[in-house]
Amino acid sequence: MVSDTMQLSRSALVALLEEQAGISVVGSASSSHETLELAAQFRPNIVVISAEGADTGGVVLAEKIATIPECRSLLLGTAFPRSVVRRAFTGTVGGLVHKSAPPRQFFEAIHQVHHGQRVFDTELTLAMLRNTDLPLTPREIAVLEQVSLGDTVPEIAARVHLSEGTVRNYLSSTVAKLGARNRIDALRIARKANWI
* Tens of pLDDT, residues 102-159: 999 999 999 999 999 999 887 666 665 555 567 888 789 889 988 988 899 999 999 8
Report the alpha-carbon distance of residue 60 to residue 88 in Å, rounded: 9
Instruction: State pLDDT tens for residues 4-33.
Output: 999 999 999 999 999 998 899 999 999 999
Is residue 53 over pLDDT 70? no
What is the predicted pLDDT for the residue at 132? 53
Environment class of residue 1 by beta-carbon count within 10 Å: exposed (0-12), middle (13-18) or buried (19+)? buried
Total-model pTM: 0.67
What is the predicted pLDDT for the residue at 100? 84
Neighbours of 70 (CB within 10 A): 7
Instruction: State pLDDT tens for residues 156-194.
Output: 999 888 999 999 999 999 999 999 999 999 999 888 876
Report the alpha-carbon distance of residue 40 to residue 30 in Å, rounded: 15
Helix or strand run (H / E) with residue 72: strand 72-77
User: In terms of DSSP bridges, do strands 72-77 and 95-98 run parallel, antiparallel, or are they unpaired?
Assistant: parallel
